Chains A and B, each alone.
Chain A
Amino acid sequence: MPFDWREFLIIAHELRNDQREGVQRTCLGRAYYYVYNLGLKMARQMNWPEPRSSLHRALWAWCQNQSNTNIKRLGMWGNEMYAFRIDSDYKDRPISDPQAVEKQLKRARDFEVCVAQQNKKTPPPAL
């Protein structure tokens, strides 16, 4: 049975009120990797010419290049979330946005709803 990437989002939700910085950073990263893997799966199904490097930026750039407005939005949201993920995993300066986790979780929800619409499926229940 393949791993369900949504477990990352569930974990991020469960931890969202823990104010320890390491936990907040983990929430930002896990929520991002949930949408990244959703986006990656969709793009591969659409025959995305996957590059060998810079996969994250390339994925969101590819989405933003599509004529389909839904997919363009996914590219915009994915990149917004990627920015938080870089901050949380690569920078030791404090996360400057006190609403970062809240925003990341809301965008992850918007993202999964949009992907479900794109696939003509019912979105998973909100957490």
Chain B
Amino acid sequence: MPSQAEALYDSPQSIPPENKSFYQNVRVYENQQITTPTPDADFVIGMRSGGGVLSCYYSSQPKQDFTAQLQALQPHYTILDDDRTFIDLLATEPALHSLLIEAVEPLQHAFGDKRLIYIRILSSDEDSILKVTIRLPANFGVNPESALRAFDDEWWLNNCHRSRGVLVFDYEMQNAF
């Protein structure tokens, strides 16, 4: 009597024929290498073994380096969450990185240069949003609410639709009381 494992491998395989219409990364075959996808290889959308060939199916989306995206944001923003959590959000929300980079200049225009701008992920039991907060000195001068609305009018109003509701901008006064 075969063992449970043998029975599993001896059982007839019902793998459908290879679908040639899928895009395949030809370099896998040119290099004659079979590579095991790493956990961050999220561009692999399917694999199967059959007839001695390991086939990999790839989506057309190129792999993005979210660590590099994070590093590009760090000169401008103080990120209060751990890198892994933040990178996960960048991966889930593809427009986020470009929005944050593009926002730097209009934020500086509305609130001035060299402000501390910090980012925090806020999660409820339903969803997560990313809050960008500009820290302002108590003697900021201009009404900060007006400055935020000027930022909205100058840039955010025309770009908020790209964020899928994930991004929020606000300010916070230092030593307000």
Contact = CB atoms under 8 A, between A and B. Distances in A.
Interface of A: 53-62, 64-65, 69, 72-73, 75-76, 79-80, 82-83, 86-87, 89-91, 96-99, 103, 106
Q: Interface size bucket, B side? A: 20 to 34
Nearest to B169: A80
Given A60-B165, A83-B170, A76 B126 contact: no
Interface of B: 122-127, 129, 131, 133, 145, 152, 156-157, 160-161, 163-170, 172-173, 176-177
Contact of B126 (A57, A103, A106): A57
A76 B160 contact: yes
B168 A99 contact: no
A38 B83 CA distance: 37
B160 A72 contact: yes
Nearest to A84: B170
Contact of B129 (A57, A64, A69): A57
A82 B160 contact: no
B168 A82 contact: yes
A34 B167 CA distance: 21
24 contacts: A54-B126, A55-B126, A56-B124, A56-B126, A59-B165, A60-B165, A61-B163, A61-B164, A64-B160, A64-B161, A72-B160, A76-B152, A76-B156, A80-B168, A80-B169, A82-B129, A83-B168, A83-B170, A86-B129, A90-B122, A98-B173, A99-B172, A103-B170, A106-B145
